[in-house]
Structure 1
Amino acid sequence: MKLQVVFYGGLKQTAGIKTETLDLPGDSLPVRELPGLLGERHPALLPRLGVVAYVVNDEIVGDDYVLRDGDEAGVLPPVSGG
């Protein structure tokens, strides 16, 4: 399956790229497995992956969401404000 990953905010600088296409075996992947894959590819992201949010096709999703071929997964850093 092909999965497009988009890094937002400071994650883009940490990963060193804005977007990446992953060629993965199988036809689906639970979101909960995505941090491990991204951490292997971009070790500098490891400390930050425990607090990110994932957006798939413009919708925030939980760990149990199943990614499918052709999805776009955005990785969002925590946001604060007042």
Structure 2
Amino acid sequence: MPSTTTEKQIRDGEDRSPNLRQLRVMLEYLSRLFEQDLGDSFSRVIEEFRAGDNVAECTLPEDLESCAWGVADLCPVQIISISD
């Protein structure tokens, strides 16, 4: 039976597979820009960066632009888009 990797193993870096390293990077990026919406289980832009009351759009300072590009590049469902 194949073993499963736990969230703790991922956080602690116990699994060194490329996919899990990519997941760790994505989780780090996501935590800087998004938070879990407990009402519907989807992610939303953290309040600090929201464009008005819209939880799906944001305005970012320059120092987080590369983070946003990283999240968009790593998103497996390609739902994140970036525009000027």
TM-score interval for Structure 1 and Structure 2 normalised by the shorter chain: under 0.3
More strand as a share of residues: 1
TM-score between both structures, scaled by the size of structure 1: 0.25
Structure having the larger proportion of residues in helix: 2
Larger radius of gyration: 2
What's the TM-score, normalizing by structure 2? 0.24
Higher RCO, 1 vs 2 (CA within 8 Å, ≥6 residues apart): 1
